């Protein structure tokens, strides 16, 4: 049952019976605020013209009618013009029976819509870092949430495998690598290539300093440094399909892909489709030609193609360089068209940092002007940067937090803290390794995903592994605690599978109410592209259960029906924790 719809229907029926036909917009119902008693609140002010009574009198009249005409409404209270409605214990018992009997609870019916989510989009000149981790975790979680909302989801990755940044690593490897390979050095491929990107920057700065010391201006020196000119020449050769340059490019990119695959597997993210910029960067040229033909774009004297968006409050945007080469916008126009047509998409979500807000604003507007109505179905999931206590990260200076190193550190910290707290007592080495990996990754994922995507966040590894408070390990431990209770019940031969008649305590009713909110939470998270909503919900559920568990015994309860009901309740809490955390890409252990 959709409880919101049910309440709306019951209240509308009573208001109509009292005052005659009512406009649906006049029935305003919301969840009762936590500081007041009740489950749902009716705002009576829009109904005063119909009732011709004061707000308090109108609320009282509706409340009395609801209690007398519906067995599901147990009580009401009036605060000014607000009618707080309490639903009966029996109503919530029925809802719990529905929850327990529903397979795939929280999974919506198929919508028939296909949504693509593009995330990761790494450059092949360096390993993945903490910023990429936020991108990957957001993209994967949003994909899971959209799938739970009944959509067919295509997870896509566009690899930025061409350009001057790639050539910088290639030049540095040629100059200083002495034939080093991942095999000969024992260094993971993406790390090895990233080391040469940092090496390039070091020598580039040294050459600039030397040129400036010789009398050249710094601006001119930055353009004239021999190592940069060499990288630019390599890019020209790459575009001309020079065989030697292409072979080197393929070899070094191959090292990086092998490294990325290891990181993706460790993070638990995957993709249905992988696109490569080297294969897509020319796609938009036909769209540019189309825009010129329609007079939407214009050509400047140097041959470059632009669109004037000043009337839309933006500026002029370059779409094609004078020498005919494409820019990022050219490519994105082409790939958007290709993806919508090839996959029959109903929408595409780009998970890209907030520094690209303007780019996606322009992309949608240009496509709209070209007549592509599906441009309205493009959504930019803009997220803030991840910062550390010591400040921002810089790839070319080698001051980034490497993704692999961070995961390794998280797992090590999880082991250290788990051992201190006795969480690994009685575990085999293999079991301890598995649990620590689960806790370390769970802590990392939850700490990042609990923050609203739009906010810049500060990441503190040790704080994220705290077993108390709003953390992944706290939620994981709650699940493990419930599993322990259910195991003991099984060992004692207690069968709690059948429906039982038992009295519910107010705390048990509260747990059912929160469980009943789960499908709507999943729907709201999908609507807002916000894993943080799932994180907040799961944390509140765990907090509520832990308080209940502290105050009330489950296995030592003397009344057999009450004991079975409490085991059923604990089992459903564990199930929702599992499914909620799975939407965040987080595993939960059964022992801890």
Q: How high is the pLDDT of residue 432?
A: 86
Residue 395 has pLDDT above 80, yes or no: no
Class of domain 403-583 as given by CATH: mainly alpha
**Mean pLDDT of the chain, nearest integer:** 93
Per-residue confidence at 399, pLDDT binned at 50, 70, 90? low
Cβ contacts of residue 294 below 8 Å, gap of 6+? Answer: 370
**CA distances in angstroms from 446 to 117, 226, 443, 586, listed in the order given:** 20, 46, 5, 8
Residue 397 has pLDDT above 80, yes or no: no
Per-residue confidence at 396, pLDDT binned at 50, 70, 90? very low
SS3 500: coil
Residue 467 has pLDDT above 80, yes or no: no
403, two tokens: 């993704």
Residue 365 has pLDDT above 50, yes or no: yes
CA 284, CA 297: separation in Å to the nearest integer? 13
pLDDT digits (tens, 9 = 90+) for 555-564: 999 999 999 9
Are the folds of 3-87 and 403-583 the same?
Answer: no
Residue scoring higher pLDDT (225 or 131):
225
Residue 393 has pLDDT above 50, yes or no: no
CA 522, CA 250: separation in Å to the nearest integer? 42
**Buried b / exposed e across 321-330, counting CB within 10 Å, b at 16+?**
eeeeebbbbb
**CATH architecture assigned to 3-87:** 2-Layer Sandwich (3.30)
Residue 219 has pLDDT above 70, yes or no: yes
Nearest residue to 457 via CA among 466, 468, 469, 444? 444
Annotate 142-196 with three-state secondary structure.
HHHHHHHCCCEEEEEEEEECCCHHHHHHHHHHHHHCCCCCHHHHCCCHHHHHHHH
Sheet of strand 378-383: strand arrangement? 273-276, 152-159, 114-118, 347-353, 378-383
Degrees to nearest 5, angle at CA 350 with 348 and 354: 145
Q: How high is the pLDDT of residue 167?
A: 95
Number of helices (H), then strands (E), in the chain: 23, 14
CA 513, CA 503: separation in Å to the nearest integer? 16
CA 331, CA 321: separation in Å to the nearest integer? 13
The dihedral over CA atoms of 291, 293, 297, 298, expressed in degrees to the nearest 10, equals: 160
Topology given in CATH for the domain delimited by 114-387 = Rossmann fold (3.40.50)
What residue segments make up the domains of the chain, in order of their start?
3-87, 114-387, 403-583
Percentage above 70 pLDDT, the chain? 98
pLDDT digits (tens, 9 = 90+) for 57-110: 999 999 999 999 999 999 999 999 999 999 999 999 999 999 999 999 999 999
Nearest residue to 83 via CA among 119, 116, 113, 47? 47
Q: How high is the pLDDT of residue 390?
A: 63
Beta bridge partners of 157: 274
């Amino acid at each position: 049952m959709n409880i919101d719809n049910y309440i709306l229907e019951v209240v509308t029926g009573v208001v109509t019976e009292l005052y005659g036909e009512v406009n649906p917009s006049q029935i305003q119902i919301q969840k009762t605020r936590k500081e007041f008693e009740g489950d749902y609140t009716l705002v009576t002010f829009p109904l005063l013209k119909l009732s011709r009574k004061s707000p308090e009198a109108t609320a009282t009249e509706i409340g009395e009618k609801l209690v007398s005409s519906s067995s599901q409404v147990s009580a009401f209270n009036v605060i000014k013009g607000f009618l707080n409605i309490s639903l009966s214990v029996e109503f919530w018992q029925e809802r719990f029976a529905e929850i327990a009997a529903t397979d795939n609870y929280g999974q919506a019916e198929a919508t028939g819509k296909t949504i693509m989510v593009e995330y990761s989009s790494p450059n092949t000149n360096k390993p993945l870092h903490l910023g990429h981790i936020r991108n990957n975790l957001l993209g994967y979680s949003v994909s899971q949430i959209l799938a739970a909302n009944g959509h067919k989801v295509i997870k896509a990755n566009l690899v930025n495998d061409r350009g001057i940044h790639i050539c910088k690593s290639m030049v540095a490897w040629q100059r200083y690598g002495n034939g080093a390979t991942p095999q000969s050095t024992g260094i993971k491929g993406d790390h090895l290539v990233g080391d040469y990107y940092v090496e390039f920057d070091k020598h580039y700065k040294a050459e600039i300093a030397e040129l400036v010391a010789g009398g050249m201006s710094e601006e001119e020196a930055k353009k004239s440094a021999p190592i940069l000119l060499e990288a630019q020449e390599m890019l020209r050769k790459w575009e001309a399909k020079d065989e030697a340059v292409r072979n080197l490019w393929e070899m070094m990119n191959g090292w990086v892909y092998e490294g990325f695959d290891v990181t993706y597997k460790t993070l638990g993210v995957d993709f249905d489709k992988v696109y490569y910029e080297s294969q897509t960067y020319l796609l938009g040229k036909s769209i540019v030609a189309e825009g010129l033909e329609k007079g939407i774009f214009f050509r400047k004297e140097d041959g470059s193609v632009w669109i004037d968006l000043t009337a839309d409050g933006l500026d002029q945007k370059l779409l094609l360089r004078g020498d005919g080469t494409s820019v990022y916008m050219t490519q994105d126009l082409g790939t958007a068209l290709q993806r919508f047509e090839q996959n029959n998409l109903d929408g595409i979500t780009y998970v890209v940092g907030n520094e690209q807000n303007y780019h996606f604003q322009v992309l949608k507007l240009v496509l709209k002007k070209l007549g592509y109505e599906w441009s309205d179905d493009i959504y930019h999931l803009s997220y803030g940067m991840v910062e550390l206590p010591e400040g921002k990260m810089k790839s070319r200076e080698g001051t980034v937090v490497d993704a692999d190193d961070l995961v390794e550190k998280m797992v090590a910290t999880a082991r250290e803290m788990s051992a201190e707290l006795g969480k690994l007592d009685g575990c085999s080495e293999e079991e301890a390794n598995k649990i620590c990996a689960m806790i370390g990754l769970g802590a990392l994922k939850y700490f990042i995903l609990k923050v609203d995507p739009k906010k810049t966040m500060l990441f503190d590894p040790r704080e994220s592994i705290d077993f108390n408070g709003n953390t992944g390990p706290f939620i994981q431990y709650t699940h493990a605690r419930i599993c322990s209770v259910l195991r003991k019940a099984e060992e004692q031969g207690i069968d709690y599978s059948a429906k039982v008649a038992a009295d519910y305590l107010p705390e048990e009713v509260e747990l059912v109410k929160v469980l009943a909110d789960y499908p709507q939470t999943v729907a709201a998270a999908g609507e807002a592209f916000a894993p943080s909503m799932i994180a907040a919900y799961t944390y509140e559920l765990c907090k509520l259960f832990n308080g209940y568990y502290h105050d009330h015994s489950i296995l030592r309860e003397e009344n057999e029906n009450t004991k079975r009901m409490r085991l059923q309740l604990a089992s459903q809490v564990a199930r929702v924790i599992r499914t909620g955390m799975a939407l965040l890409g987080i595993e939960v252990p059964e022992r801890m």
